[in-house]
Structure 1
Amino acid sequence: MTSEFGKVGVLFGGRSAEREVSLMSGGGVLAALQSKGIDAHGFDPAQRSLAELAAEKFDRVFIALHGRYGEDGTLQGALEQLGIPYTGSGVMGSSIGMDKVMSKRIWLSHGLPTPRFIVLDSKTASVEELRKVPDELGLPLMLKAPHEGSTIGISKVTSAADMQGGFELCAKYDEVVLAEEFIAGRELTVPVLGAGRNARALPIVEIRAPQGNYDYQNKYFSDDTQYLCPAPLDDALTQKIQTLAVRAFNAIGCTGWARVDFMLRATDNAPYLLEINTSPGMTGHSLVPMSAKAAGVSYEDLCVEILRSADLDLHSSKDWKPV
């Protein structure tokens, strides 16, 4: 089995704000692949050049990078040029998935539910524009840097007086700030594996963070956050959410694997799409391995399955052809 993969590079670290998380993810993936007898080697694009990557002559690579320069289509384009098969979505799927605003626009065009939103320019948004946002979206509301992940560049606004400070925090990370309607309810996430009509959803994970604050600390380091997997939902609602996750995955043009995040509105159990992660975390606290375990798939076997999906033909034939 292991010989089919040849020499494998595990790309982790990188230059994004999520570097530290990526180092944890990549370390876990590298150890898992090596434990399966795969000839896997770590490679940090922040410390080594693309020329060095080409010189390594990897037969395929596992992308364990998060955020910019690894999850946003830029690296995927370079790997296409080098002819190196890679895990995850292709150039377009990665680029769209990394952009919360574009993801929401595409989901809306497919009739998929996502919270109402307003896009604000980080440099030119006026005090008057900021003042109008709570009037339109209501309070509380969320402010987000659309190209960041791992809860970096995000602020919950509970009063109009909080708008300026929350906006300035998010504006540090991005050229635009996404103002989003707050959906009160349960936080859920659904991993998806495969591509096109073969895409399948794994068990749903429900996240219950202290005081409902699923921030960077509670996401990666705290033992106080509770995870329920499979999420305690009835069969019909489970099926509805898993189907919606696969539709969201395919609408963006994703392939290989991803994780789709939801809010389930408390008043009526209506699911709302928040974002999609095309290179999800693979740390000890990460949700894709947790979901896979509930489906009877070990961390090591999950890494091998994802690695097996690395296929340049898959990217070129499936990328940006929604099902």
Structure 2
Amino acid sequence: MSSRTTPKVAVLMGGPSREREVSLSSGRECVTALRETGYEVIEVDAGPDLAARLSEISPDVAFNALHGRWGEDGCVQGLLEWLQIPYTHSGVLASALAMDKARAKAAYQSVGLPVVESVIASTAEVQARHVMAPPYVVKPNNEGSSVGIYLVSEDANAPPKLSENMPDTVMVEAFAAGREMTVTVMGDRALAVTDILTDGW
């Protein structure tokens, strides 16, 4: 931390992921809240020059408002560690594990938490045949915020036709009916529980 009376905060937003627009929106909200609280805030649209920008800005802390790959998967966290800039949210390992759904599920299973059946398969195979009995869900293994989700119903006659933007390999997971909840955890303290609502499912 520098000797500045008012800490300088670099809010990282945007970036190259498929969740860029969501990140820009939430990043601007963070900027507004931080400025109202009295911090000196610099908005940083994260691009290939991010390391150079941060070195030039020399913030006291980086507020990570990036979403999806590169922002939540350990990549930007590793960059911030290298630059020795303190940052918000989880560290490198936790971020990388959480974004990789298969490895996250393996971690849950290792401590006895129940998870639904799933397999990793190529997009070509998923589009050629049912790789498990419907109903099931097809999703990228390493994206966030329900990006690229396909729900295959129990009475589906054919496998799903996936977007060209889908990665070469995906997770196919048995469908589990119920509500989707997300819980923020800070240290060892659970914060607010949010109910995730999606139209059309």
The alignment status of 1:175 with 2:171, answered yes or no, reads no
The alignment status of 1:146 with 2:132, answered yes or no, reads no
The alignment status of 1:106 with 2:107, answered yes or no, reads yes
Alignment partners' CA distance in 2, 1:30 and 1:162: 47
Q: Which residue number corresponds to residue 75 of structure 1?
A: 76
Give the C-alpha shift of residue 142 in structure 1: 0.6
Alignment partners' CA distance in 2, 1:190 and 1:126: 33
The aligned amino acid for 1:192 is V
Contact 1:157 1:163 in 2 (8 A): yes
Alignment partners' CA distance in 2, 1:162 and 1:31: 48
Alignment partners' CA distance in 1, 2:43 and 2:130: 48
Higher alpha-carbon deviation: 37-46 or 200-209: 200-209
Q: Which residue number corresponds to residue 46 of structure 2?
A: 45
% same residue: 39
Contact 1:60 1:86 in 2 (8 A): yes
The aligned amino acid for 1:187 is E
Alignment partners' CA distance in 1, 2:197 and 2:46: 34
Give the C-alpha shift of residue 125 in structure 1: 6.0
The aligned amino acid for 1:161 is N
Residues 190, 126 of structure 1: CA spacing in aligned structure 2 closer, same or farther, 3 A cutoff? closer
Alignment partners' CA distance in 1, 2:48 and 2:30: 19
Q: Of the two structures, which has the highest relative contact order with CA contacts closer than 8 Å and spacing of 6 or more?
A: 1
Alignment partners' CA distance in 1, 2:8 and 2:127: 53
The aligned amino acid for 2:35 is Q
Unaligned runs of 5+ in 1: 214-323
Give the C-alpha shift of residue 67 in structure 1: 0.8
The alignment status of 1:163 with 2:162, answered yes or no, reads no
Contact 2:11 2:64 in 1 (8 A): yes
Contact 2:8 2:61 in 1 (8 A): yes
Q: CA RMSD in A?
A: 2.1
Q: TM-score, normalised by structure 1?
A: 0.56
Q: Which residue number corresponds to residue 16 of structure 1?
A: 17
Matches within 5 A, 1:1-323: 6-46=7-47, 48-122=49-123, 127=128, 130-134=129-133, 139-158=134-153, 159-165=155-161, 168-169=162-163, 172-194=165-187, 199-210=188-199, 213=201
Alignment partners' CA distance in 2, 1:203 and 1:86: 21
Q: Which is helix-richer, 1 or 2?
A: 1
Unaligned runs of 5+ in 2: none
Alignment partners' CA distance in 2, 1:122 and 1:110: 30
Give the C-alpha shift of residue 209 in structure 1: 4.3
Give the C-alpha shift of residue 179 in structure 1: 0.6
Alignment partners' CA distance in 2, 1:182 and 1:125: 15
Alignment partners' CA distance in 2, 1:39 and 1:172: 38
Alignment partners' CA distance in 1, 2:5 and 2:167: 41
Alignment partners' CA distance in 2, 1:105 and 1:111: 10
Give the C-alpha shift of residue 11 in structure 1: 0.3
Alignment partners' CA distance in 2, 1:104 and 1:5: 42
Alignment partners' CA distance in 2, 1:85 and 1:73: 14
Alignment partners' CA distance in 2, 1:126 and 1:26: 36
Residues 132, 27 of structure 1: CA spacing in aligned structure 2 closer, same or farther, 3 A cutoff? closer
Contact 1:131 1:160 in 2 (8 A): no
The aligned amino acid for 1:60 is V
For these two proteins, the number of residue pairs brought into alignment is 197
Give the C-alpha shift of residue 20 in structure 1: 0.1
